[in-house]
C-alpha cells in the first residue's frame, strides 16, 4: 500500500511540475516567476491539512489518552513545519521580483511566520519535556492553540491592507484564473496531498511496525525458544 501510494504521489508530482513549469501558459503580468505558485499554493494548503491533523489528533488524545493519537499529532506537527517552511521559502522567492524585497512585515507573511514558529516550538516542546505523557499533553494544547492562527492567515488579506494578493481559489466566487493554470494548480495540490498522506502513514505506522518486529524478535535474540 505504501509503495503504491508513494509511486502515485511521485507520478502526480512529476506531472504537476511539468504542467506548472511547461504546459500552463505564462502569466501576462508577472511572467514566468508566477510559476512558483504551483509549489507555493499546494505547500500552504498541505500545511493546513497537517495542522488539521494535529488539531483533531490532539483533541482526541486529550479526550482518550491513547498514544496512537499522540503519534498522529506528532507526525502532523513535523509535516506542518516542513510544508509551512516551504511556503515561506517559495513566498520569499516569489516576493523578491514581484515586491522588490525578500521579506516584508505584511499581515499574511507575518501570521504565516508566526504559525511556523509555533509549530517549531511544538516540536521543541516534545523534545525537552522528559516525561512522555506530560510532553504529549503540553504539545496537544499548543497544537490546538496554534491551529487558531490558520483562519487569521486566510482572512488577513481581507481584514487588513496587505501586499499579498487576495484568494484566487479558496473563495465564495469561482476561481479567477486561466482554466489551464487552474488545472495545473489542482494537479499539484492533489500531488502534494498524496505526498502528505504517504508521509503521514510512514511516520505513524513504520516505527510501530519496526517496534513490533523488535518485540517479537526479543525471545530469539535472547535465545529463548
Per residue of the chain (225 residues), give pLDDT as tens: 667 877 888 999 999 999 988 888 888 778 888 899 999 999 999 999 999 999 999 999 999 999 999 999 999 999 999 999 999 999 999 888 888 888 888 888 899 999 999 999 999 999 999 898 999 999 999 999 999 999 999 887 777 677 666 666 655 556 667 788 889 999 999 999 999 999 998 888 765 443 343 334 434 444 444
Q: What is the pLDDT of residue 197?
A: 93
pTM of the complete model beyond 0.75 = yes
State how far the Cα of 83 lies from the Cα of 40, in Å rounded to an integer. 9
For residue 155, is it within any domain? yes
For residue 195, is it within any domain? yes
Q: What is the pLDDT of residue 154?
A: 83
Domain count, the chain: 1
User: Nearest to residue 184, comparing CAs of 41, 23, 45, 49?
Assistant: 23
For residue 171, is it within any domain? no
Q: What is the pLDDT of residue 117?
A: 96
State how far the Cα of 77 lies from the Cα of 206, in Å rounded to an integer. 17
Q: What is the pLDDT of residue 205?
A: 75
Q: What is the pLDDT of residue 130?
A: 87
Contacts of 91 (CB under 8 A, 6+ apart): 40, 109, 112
State how far the Cα of 160 lies from the Cα of 107, in Å rounded to an integer. 7
- Asked whether 135 and 129 are in contact (CB, 8 A), the reply is yes
Q: What is the pLDDT of residue 116?
A: 97
User: Hey, what's the cell of 69?
Assistant: 493519537
User: Hey, what's the cell of 206?
Assistant: 513504520
**Residue 199, domain extent:** 2-165+177-222
State how far the Cα of 133 lies from the Cα of 113, in Å rounded to an integer. 29
For residue 88, is it within any domain? yes
Cα Rg, the chain, nearest whole Å? 20
For residue 172, is it within any domain? no
For residue 124, is it within any domain? yes
User: Hey, what's the cell of 208?
Assistant: 510501530
Amino acid at each position: 500500500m505504501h509503495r503504491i501510494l508513494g509511486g502515485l504521489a511521485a507520478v502526480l508530482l512529476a506531472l504537476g511540475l511539468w504542467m506548472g513549469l511547461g504546459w500552463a501558459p505564462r502569466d501576462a503580468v508577472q511572467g514566468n516567476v508566477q510559476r512558483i505558485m504551483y509549489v507555493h499554493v499546494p505547500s500552504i494548503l498541505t500545511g493546513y491539512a497537517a495542522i488539521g491533523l494535529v488539531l483533531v489528533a490532539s483533541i482526541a488524545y486529550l479526550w482518550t489518552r491513547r498514544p496512537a493519537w499522540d503519534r498522529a499529532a506528532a507526525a502532523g506537527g513535523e509535516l506542518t513545519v516542513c510544508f509551512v517552511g516551504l511556503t515561506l521559502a517559495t513566498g520569499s522567492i516569489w516576493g523578491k521580483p514581484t515586491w522588490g524585497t525578500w521579506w516584508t512585515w505584511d499581515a499574511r507573511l507575518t501570521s504565516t511566520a508566526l504559525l511556523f514558529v509555533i509549530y517549531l516550538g511544538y516540536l521543541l516542546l516534545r523534545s525537552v519535556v522528559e516525561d512522555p505523557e506530560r510532553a504529549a499533553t503540553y504539545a496537544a494544547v499548543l497544537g490546538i492553540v496554534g491551529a487558531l492562527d490558520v483562519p487569521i492567515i486566510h482572512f488577513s488579506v481581507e481584514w487588513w491592507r496587505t501586499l499579498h494578493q487576495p484568494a484566487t481559489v479558496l473563495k465564495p466566487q469561482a476561481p479567477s484564473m486561466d482554466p489551464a493554470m487552474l488545472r495545473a494548480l489542482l494537479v499539484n495540490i492533489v500531488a502534494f496531498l498524496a505526498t502528505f498522506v504517504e508521509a503521514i502513514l510512514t511516520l505513524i505506522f513504520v516505527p510501530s511496525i519496526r517496534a513490533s518486529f523488535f518485540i517479537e524478535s526479543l525471545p530469539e535474540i535472547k535465545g529463548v525458544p
